[in-house]
């Protein structure tokens, strides 16, 4: 609740007070005699007008503490005219401006853990200058959480960049968020064309937002996080406000069919490339820590996470280090790699694989010819969608951007 305090400044005329202090009073010089009253035939002094009581309203109220640094500072006056306001903490001042109704309102934000002094210069109804001061203090957090925007867990979102139709909005906090409802309330996603969306918390620091369906091509997305002054739980507050924006490019969706051994690429609904592929061979093996791993290319919509001209792959990357295991392989430099999961699924060149278009013999990646892998590398965007079909293992929501593998009615539930 916003607290305000009214300061009533004197009912005695300010001019009378000034006269008592030795200042001249309106219409008469110091030491001059009073004029005779021609009507009464006597001498008397002119009456000094009384000033109207001044009512100064200040928000935040004087002596308030735990004030949000995002709260506006507002001053208004009754019975006088507000001429200027200064708000300062040490040598740092808060910008503000007079409003059309005669009040003053701050424009800048404050900082945490500071005591601010408000100095108001007022002219009362007699024209005398009056100055009033008050102080208040902003909240002192136990910790502050910074805000960043991610394209995925492997890279930041480029503000103003162009992304594929599967790119969710991803907001990352530098500290754990306990009050997720407060964090979500601080996040605003504006899109053109406008679409509703839902939040999904990957963990206590990262939240995603997506619409019900893939973005329409050309959609613009603006994200703002007004976290300054927001209590995120356990004494942690948002460090500052943040914003970003990005654009959705052409609508590219690739469909990799495990049964037909074909990966077909559609742009704006039209097939533009039909590629022979070889997907994961399937099956399980046990690695050193007793954990079982599988060799299927996981079913469901994947989202492009990154692209690497060359990437070194080995079975050790997913924990298989025993050279006697038939699934073991030494590190090898692979070309034209387009990553679609954190666990190591790529579309990449596989010149050694002579079963493209005929059989699935990879360790889980989508193997392509050199020419096709290069075309994918050159034409796919981060955020583009690769839907894998007809395999017995589904992509978990946390393995890359598996957001689209969850139905919208269950997303974030």
User: Which residues belong to the active site?
Assistant: 348, 365
- Alpha carbon 152 to chain centroid distance? 15
CA torsion sign for 374, 378, 383, 385 is negative
Exposed, middle or buried, 135 (CB in 10 Å: 0-12/13-18/19+)? middle
Q: Are strands 385-389 and 252-257 parallel, antiparallel or unpaired?
A: parallel
Q: Minimal CA–CA distance to 168: which of 116, 115, 246?
A: 246
Sign of the alpha-carbon torsion through 131, 135, 138, 140: positive
Residue 125, CA atoms < 13 Å, CB-side half-sphere: 15
* Beta strand ranges found along 231-376 (DSSP E): 231-233, 236-238, 242-248, 252-257, 262-267, 270-276, 284-286, 292-294, 300-303, 306-313, 332-339, 346-349, 366-368
Question: Across the strands, what pairs with 119?
Answer: 86, 133
**Distance (Å, rounded) from C-alpha 237 to C-alpha 301?**
36
* Three-state DSSP state, 106: strand
CB 304 within 8 A of CB 383: yes
């Amino acid at each position: 609740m916003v607290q305000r305090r009214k300061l009533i400044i004197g009912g005695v005329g300010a001019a009378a007070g000034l006269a008592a202090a030795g200042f001249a009073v309106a219409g008469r010089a110091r030491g001059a005699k009073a004029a005779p009253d021609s009507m009464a035939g006597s001498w008397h002094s002119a009456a000094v007008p009384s000033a109207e009581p001044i009512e100064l309203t200040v928000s935040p109220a004087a002596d308030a503490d735990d004030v949000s640094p995002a709260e506006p500072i507002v001053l208004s006056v009754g019975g006088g005219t507000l001429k200027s306001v200064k708000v300062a903490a040490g040598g740092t001042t808060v910008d503000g401006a007079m409003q059309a109704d005669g009040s003053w309102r701050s424009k800048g934000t404050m900082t945490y853990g500071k005591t601010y002094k408000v100095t108001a210069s007022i002219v009362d109804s007699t024209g005398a200058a009056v100055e009033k001061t008050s102080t208040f203090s902003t909240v002192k957090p136990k910790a502050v959480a910074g805000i960043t925007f991610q394209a995925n867990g492997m890279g930041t979102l480029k503000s103003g960049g162009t992304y594929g139709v599967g790119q969710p909005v991803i907001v990352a906090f530098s500290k754990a968020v306990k009050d997720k409802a407060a964090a979500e309330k601080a996040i605003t996603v504006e899109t053109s064309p406008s679409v509703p969306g839902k939040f999904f918390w990957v963990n206590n620091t990262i939240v995603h937002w997506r619409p019900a369906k893939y973005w329409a091509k050309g959609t613009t997305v603006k994200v703002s996080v007004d976290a300054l002054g927001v209590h995120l739980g356990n004494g942690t507050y948002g460090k500052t406000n943040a914003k970003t924006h990005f654009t959705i490019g052409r609508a590219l969706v690739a469909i990799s069919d495990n049964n037909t051994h074909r990966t077909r690429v559609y742009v704006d609904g039209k097939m533009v490339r039909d590629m022979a592929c070889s997907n994961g061979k399937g099956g399980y093996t046990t690695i050193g820590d007793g954990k079982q791993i599988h060799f299927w290319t996981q079913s469901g919509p994947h989202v492009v996470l990154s692209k690497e001209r060359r990437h070194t792959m080995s079975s050790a990357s997913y924990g298989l280090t025993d050279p006697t295991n038939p699934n073991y392989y030494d590190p090898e430099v692979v070309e034209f790699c387009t990553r679609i999961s954190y666990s190591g699924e790529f579309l990449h060149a596989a010149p050694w694989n002579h079963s493209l278009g005929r059989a699935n013999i990879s360790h889980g990646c989508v193997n392509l010819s050199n020419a096709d892998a290069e075309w994918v590398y050159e034409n796919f965007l981060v955020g583009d969608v690769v839907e894998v079909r007809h395999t017995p293992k589904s992509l978990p929501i946390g393995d890359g951007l598996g957001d689209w593998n969850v139905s919208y009615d269950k997303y974030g539930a």
